[in-house]
């Protein structure tokens, strides 16, 4: 399609929007207002170093026509106004709330984006240094950030402006449930899991005075003279022997790296990374979320029990996952005899807790943060980083870092050629395509067959690091990091 055709098509879309406005309506679906750009299908792109004068920008494109400019003016492009973050790396996409939360690694800022106004809406204060993992709850009341640099979990109650900096050596990830009521915390190269809890007034008094007054499971409570938050070990350490094992029980976890949650929010599935993270065996451990609720008044009053926990072996690796109804798609890397790793997808039936056989997908960095998202045509898209360090690349196979998996037919399409690390995926709902950030540039693929779509008019100047579909119907349209 040439530029003239693109402009004419875009003009038609604008005419429809204008007609809606002329009829007294400025909404397009779910009661959402027509944004200032007039675009109905927007993909937000986090761009690093877009110019010599800026280390970061948030640009968005018309993902219906796959163009970055206005239909009648190729010099008019679209970007989020007011954004000044340095080196943006992740977009937490919350289209139901018409909100995005963009984290910038260059300055440690978590900036909120108002999708309806296409402008920034403040940033999160109180974070400690650079965050290796950061999330805000969907109701925007709580924010959690793991800073591997300073070994601190920051817990923020945004309603009261209360900030707690909880010490945890080796911390590197945090997983927050969709309801924003539980936050599980992970330490690199560790077999232990931790969780946060807000304290009642009575607990604050009881725990005051330092570690000698804390429960045995408490790792840190802050501030120590009158604590408002505590960080607890997920299993009571009462029954741990000198070697770190539970008496008469196997290890509870094996290099846990993150948790994903059931649709009803009642179960957290902890991913045990195993061999790809220096452990013994990869698996999934289901935990009841009840004991981990952190809000005062919501807590069960119980600490997690001592002793062993059940776990489901996943030999193909378990470092990321996506739960859809009663099915969990688990992604990981499997160690080979030559010391290299191969990527795998394992489908787990949560109704009977059984794992299928491992399905080969693109290789990736062992224990690294892969990207996963569901899209049109029953497709699951999986992106990896450092796939050129894996077994397939070493054998000269042409596959890149992106895989399309058809959930209906259980077939895999490995996208080639190698274009660099896959750092972001966006599902453009209903239009049968995904946008990806790969090797620092924006690419488009068809969900029908995995074929590349012309990306000439959506490429950016600088390094594209993440993408998000701002006009998704639900918050499920969010890359799983």
Token pair, residue 401, equals 């870092």
Question: Could you tell me which residue, 474 or 15, shows the higher pLDDT?
Answer: 474
Model confidence over 245-255: pLDDT tens digits?
Answer: 554 455 578 99
Q: How far is CA 289 from CA 13, 235, 294, 321, 417, in A?
A: 46, 13, 10, 17, 42
User: How high is the pLDDT of residue 2?
Assistant: 47
CA dihedral 137, 422, 152, 134 (to 10 degrees): -10
Q: Taking every pair of C-alpha atoms in the chain, what is the biggest distance, in angstroms?
A: 74
User: How high is the pLDDT of residue 303?
Assistant: 61
Q: How far apart are alpha carbons 101 and 114 in whole angstroms?
A: 9
pLDDT at 71 exceeding the cut of 50: yes
- Whats the size of the chain, residue-wise? 481
Confidence band of 314 (pLDDT split at 50, 70, 90): very high
Report the chain's mean pLDDT, rounded to a whole number. Answer: 90
Q: Where are the domains of the chain?
A: 3-469
- Residues of the chain with pLDDT > 70, as a percent, come to 90
- Nearest Cα to 158, choosing from 174, 140, 173, 175? 140
Q: How far apart are alpha carbons 118 and 37 in whole angstroms?
A: 8
User: How high is the pLDDT of residue 425?
Assistant: 98
- Span of 129-133, 236-240, 340-344 with lowest mean pLDDT: 236-240
What's the average model confidence in pLDDT over 315-337? 95
Confidence band of 11 (pLDDT split at 50, 70, 90): very low
> Which top CATH class is 3-469?
mainly beta
388-423: string of b/e by CB count within 10 Å (b at 16+)? bbbbbbeeeeebbbbbbbeeeeeebbbbeebbebbb
Confidence band of 12 (pLDDT split at 50, 70, 90): very low
- Nearest Cα to 429, choosing from 11, 30, 1? 30
pLDDT at 240 exceeding the cut of 60: no
What's the average model confidence in pLDDT over 215-237? 89
What's the average model confidence in pLDDT over 4-15? 45
Question: Could you tell me which residue, 3 or 413, shows the higher pLDDT?
Answer: 413
User: How high is the pLDDT of residue 226?
Assistant: 93
The pTM for the full model equals 0.91
What's the average model confidence in pLDDT over 99-117? 97
User: How high is the pLDDT of residue 244?
Assistant: 55
Model confidence over 432-457: pLDDT tens digits?
Answer: 999 999 999 999 999 999 999 999 99
Model confidence over 413-437: pLDDT tens digits?
Answer: 999 999 999 999 999 999 999 999 9
């Amino acid at each position: 399609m040439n530029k003239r055709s693109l402009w004419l098509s875009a003009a038609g879309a604008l005419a429809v929007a204008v007609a809606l406005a002329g009829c007294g309506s400025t909404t397009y679906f779910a009661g959402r207002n027509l944004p200032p750009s007039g675009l109905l299908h927007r993909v937000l792109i986090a761009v690093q170093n877009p110019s010599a004068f800026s280390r970061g920008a948030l640009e968005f494109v018309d993902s219906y026509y796959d163009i970055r400019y206005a239909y009648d003016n190729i010099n008019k492009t679209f970007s989020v106004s007011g954004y000044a973050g340095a080196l943006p790396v992740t977009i937490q996409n919350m289209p139901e709330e018409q909100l995005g939360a963009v984290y910038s690694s260059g300055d440690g800022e978590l900036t909120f984006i108002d999708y309806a106004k296409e402008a920034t809406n403040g940033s999160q204060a109180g974070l400690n240094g650079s965050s290796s993992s950061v999330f805000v709850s969907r109701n925007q009341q709580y924010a959690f950030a793991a800073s591997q640099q300073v070994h601190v979990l920051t817990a923020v109650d945004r309603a009261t402006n209360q900030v707690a900096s909880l010490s945890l050596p080796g911390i590197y990830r945090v997983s927050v449930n969709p309801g924003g009521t539980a936050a599980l915390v992970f330490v690199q190269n560790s077999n232990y899991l931790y969780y946060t809890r807000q304290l009642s007034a009575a607990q604050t008094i009881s725990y005051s005075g330092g570690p000698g007054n804390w429960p045995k499971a408490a790792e840190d409570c802050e501030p120590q003279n009158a604590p408002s938050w505590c960080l607890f070990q997920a299993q009571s350490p009462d029954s741990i022997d000198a070697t770190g094992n539970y008496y008469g029980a196997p290890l509870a976890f094996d290099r846990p790296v993150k948790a994903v949650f059931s649709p009803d929010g009642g179960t957290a599935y902890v991913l045990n990374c195993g061999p790809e993270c220096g452990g013994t065996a990869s698996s999934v451990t289901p935990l009841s979320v009840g004991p981990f609720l952190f809000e005062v008044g919501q807590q069960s009053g119980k600490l997690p029990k001592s002793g062993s926990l059940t776990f489901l072996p996943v030999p193909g690796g378990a470092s990321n996952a996506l739960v859809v109804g009663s099915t969990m798609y688990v992604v990981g890397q499997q160690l080979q005899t030559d010391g290299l790793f191969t990527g795998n997808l394992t489908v787990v039936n949560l109704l009977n807790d059984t794992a299928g056989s491992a399905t080969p997908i693109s290789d990736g960095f062992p224990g690294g943060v892969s990207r996963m998202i569901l899209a049109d045509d029953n497709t699951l898209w999986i992106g990896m980083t450092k796939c050129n360090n894996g077994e397939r690349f070493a054998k000269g196979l042409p596959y890149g870092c992106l895989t399309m998996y058809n959930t209906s037919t259980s077939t895999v399409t490995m996208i080639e050629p190698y274009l660099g690390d896959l750092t972001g995926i966006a599902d453009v709902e209903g239009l049968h395509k995904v946008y990806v950030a790969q090797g620092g540039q924006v690419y488009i693929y068809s969900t029908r067959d995995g074929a590349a779509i012309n990306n000439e008019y959506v490429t950016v100047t600088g390094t594209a690091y993440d993408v998000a579909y701002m006009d998704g119907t639900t918050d499920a349209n969010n890359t799983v990091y």
